[in-house]
Amino acid sequence: MATTQDRVEQATGLLVPGGGEHHRSLRQDVWRQFKKHKGAVVGLVLLGLIVFATIFGPMLYGIDPYAVDTSMTNAAPSADHPLGTDNLGRDVLARTLVGGRISLAVGFAAMLFGLILGSGIGIISGYFRKLDGPLMRITDLFLALPILPLLLVIIMLWREPLKAAFGEELGIFLLVVFVIGVTSWMQTARVVRGDVLSLKEEEFVLAANSIGTRRRNVIMRHILPNTMSPIMVSAALGVAVAIITESALSFLGLGFPASFPTWGRLLFDGTNYLQISPLRAVVAGALISLTVMSVNYIGDGLRDAIDPRLRSN
């Protein structure tokens, strides 16, 4: 648990003398500790590279990932096609880069959705006694739902209406993000609620209340910043889970449609060609693994860094 000193420091924004000659803010402290965790740093760099490659790569690379060329099916890697072509002659590297955009977008969006939902419910539940009971029962209910089976069924059910309403790409994107988000907020809610319950009794919150701070401000300015640590760790894990879930759905044939090259879809399609053109599946699978690993390392580093006991003065 953080010491009262740390909490007051955050709440009032003042620096506490006696910690050394240098002025240090919490953010700098966390960053310093984070840098010590080698794995986390490597993860951050790797993730940055992957994100950069998927955002700018397709523009820099130039080849159309959707261009069908039946004269060049299943070609081996060459100067024109560094990773070869697939069974319809489409360039594998181009598809992998574009696929990354969709996979990462789904990962971050789903995580964000689940995070906002979970933190919101956790904070409200922890702070407002009267709502705690019902909200926790709802959380229990969601926790009790078997996720993957319902995910499969919901996707089969709602695919068509959403496709009709928003177009194929956006429709499925919304569906997958919603479905992943709505089935992964529970852990965050529970953890945040636990934190809020104990924070409510802290002296600085009592102090804030006694000077008449409005409830909304108490939550936003005092409670929320102090729950950031479990929230951020949840965020990191959430991205990992979202990317894997999207790949799993594609692997079961239920994710994005065939024309959309997400990494999961590429892995699914490429599995049968492993002996002919292994790069298709291997590169997609490796990228999923690397991204998830980097995110997990970052989460690990964050957890270590934010925990004040591990930060040395």
- Contacts with another protein, residue ranges (CB under 8 A): 39, 68, 70, 73-74, 87-88, 140-141, 143-150, 152-154, 156-157, 159-160, 168, 240, 244, 247-248, 251-253, 257-259, 267, 269, 271-276, 281, 285, 288-290, 292-293, 296-297, 300, 303, 309
Least separation in angstroms between CB 282 and another protein: 8
What DSSP string runs through 103-166?
A: HHHHHHHHHHHHHHHHHHHHHHHHH-HHHHHHHHHHHHHHHHS-HHHHHHHHHHHHHHHHHHHH
State which residue, 15 or 276, has the beta carbon closest to another protein: 276
Closer to another protein by CB, 208 or 281: give it.
Answer: 281
Report the helix count and the strand count for the chain, using DSSP H and E: 14, 0
Tell me the closest approach of the beta carbon of residue 115 to another protein, in angstroms: 20
Query: Residue 123 has which token pair?
Result: 């904070």
Q: Output the smallest distance, CB 208 to another protein, in A.
A: 29
Query: Nearer Cβ to another protein, position 60 or 144?
Result: 144
Residue whose CB is less far from another protein, 38 or 215: 38
Choice between 149 and 212, CB closer to another protein: 149
Q: How far is the CB of 239 from another protein (least distance, A)?
A: 11
Q: What is the largest CA-CA distance in the chain?
A: 77
Q: Which long-range contacts does 269-276 make (Cβ < 8 Å, 24+ apart)? A: 269/86, 270/86, 273/74, 273/86, 273/87, 276/74
Task: Tell the smallest beta-carbon distance from residue 145 to another protein (Å).
Answer: 6
231 with 115: CB under 8 angstroms? Answer: yes
Helices 186-199/228-251 angle, 10° precision:
170
- 127, HSE (Cβ side, Cα atoms, 13 Å): 19
The CB-of-201 to another protein minimum distance in angstroms stands at: 17
Nearer to another protein, 209 or 296 (CB): 296
**Could you tell me if 261 and 96 are in contact, meaning their C-beta atoms sit under 8 angstroms apart?**
yes
